[in-house]
A and B are shown apart, each in its own frame.
Chain A
């Protein structure tokens, strides 16, 4: 149980088309991440799946049943929101139990499920507290617990980590990954952070301007992006795009990731001046202004001492250089 099919879903707000025909298949137990820049329609798509928005056309099928006209509570889903969205007047325990209570689940069963969820998320000491008495990380764990007790077919996460600070974000990310491994449930996760997408997903769906750009595993998207958009979106720092004509190439654009460039002070393909250097300890990001290639980023593993103004030669790894045509697609 827990499969999802989206068939040609379109959504328009007035004249503005936000989703332009989405087709997607999610199998049982998969962790799927929707990723894309803000305004690409990923949250809208999640809302359509949840039933919080009606699609203009197309079908949403959960577990073989068309739920396009089913209210959210009856779809067998649970959702975790960016802003936690806990009920301020209820205790942690009642927050988690409210959905089951509404569905008429016996009290003993509710208590059993809350017990399991709260021990899984180490929330037991806080069960009698109200959301106002919890920290941000605890609130988000309660929100996740509220989803877990429903034992849904589908977990939906709407940017759940965006409101947490960096350290907490890493911890909670780990907890979500463990939760997925333990529950083996189907999860759909929306984020604009490609690091979250890469670390959590079995399958990443890259969205841009209401359309799916590419669907694939994290490494698949990293190693063989279908087009310029995906190539630029996956990977950090961003892939360097160089005008093909400047390099005397036939392709419209040449793409090379910062980590696939090597630098040498004496010789190399592209001569450039160091504009700025970022020292991160584990690696160093150099910004080079090259005569041929323009401003590029180079990522060097480990410490590399380069002063702004120094001259360096950058050389791309030919096996890991991407060539894009005029339509943005990769040339084979």
Chain B
């Protein structure tokens, strides 16, 4: 049935394109998860086949749980990601509010300076960062990672959030000022709830690189105590023998928390409570 807004061929076409993309995007993830449930011989024998009763094997998961302290690695990754995310959102939003709300000398220069980090990869400064962490005694602590990731996430957060904060009605903030709300109350109670969808966007963009990062944990915090999941999975990558079962199982497990966080934030992405504040 075709109406003014829907035509069958076009609907089929659009769905075909989207489905193709979904298949391509999900393919590696599915392969990882499927193979993590198979025996070693089956992984190499038929990598694309789903596990059958004959090839089904949880050896990967038992290795991961048994060998190494994976629960602890998970905990480290989670602490680092959540803490960095919290600081990025807090400081990013505060800086964005100041840049978008107050007129002061050097405002646009400051904005440009804060956005510069988007263009310059933080990894260029690895040596200096390492020296700094050694000097301040923060090597092999989660604090070091949190600090670095906060710095890494801030530029994009400030850039995106200041654009959104400019759109928050001036009248609303002024109404708050006339009612005697402090600037902090205006920020936390009036502005932040209104930019919540954009905060979620920033959260998703910030979170995934942090969770997946191998570089900084390897350099700044490689000790057993502070290993993150991605670093922990390296345990099974040998120079001569690689324990594929364990690696695939570790990766499958590593997807879960980030997936959960994503689901939480993506609900926020679509929800907005701006309606009713202004016309």
Contact = CB atoms under 8 A, between A and B. Distances in A.
Interface stretch (B188-196, B203-211, B227-235, B250-258): B188-196
B279 A163 contact: yes
A139 B273 CA distance: 16
A163 B279 CA distance: 8
Interface of A: 47, 50-52, 71-74, 77-79, 81-89, 98-99, 102-103, 130-134, 136, 139, 146, 158, 163
25 contacts: A50-B174, A51-B177, A52-B177, A72-B174, A73-B177, A73-B178, A73-B180, A73-B181, A77-B178, A79-B175, A83-B171, A83-B278, A84-B279, A85-B175, A85-B278, A86-B172, A86-B175, A86-B276, A87-B189, A88-B193, A103-B180, A132-B273, A132-B275, A132-B276, A133-B276
B276 A102 contact: no
A98 B276 contact: no
A54 to B, nearest CB: 11
Nearest to B175: A85
B171 A85 contact: yes
A139 B278 CA distance: 9
Instruction: Across the A-B interface, give the 4 residue pairs with the lowest CB-CB distance, nearest first.
Output: A132-B276, A73-B180, A99-B179, A131-B276
Contacts, number: 85
B174 A81 contact: yes
A87 B277 contact: yes
Interface in B221-279: 273-279
B67 interface: no
Contacts of B169: 83, 85
A76 to B, nearest CB: 11
B171 A131 contact: no
B179 to A, nearest CB: 4
Contacts of A52: 174, 177-178
Given A73-B179, A99-B179, A130 B277 contact: no
A102 B179 CA distance: 7
Nearest to B194: A88
Contacts of A74: 180
B171 A81 contact: yes
Which residue among A78, A88, A98, A134 has the maximum number of chain B CB atoms within 10 Å of its CB? Answer: A88
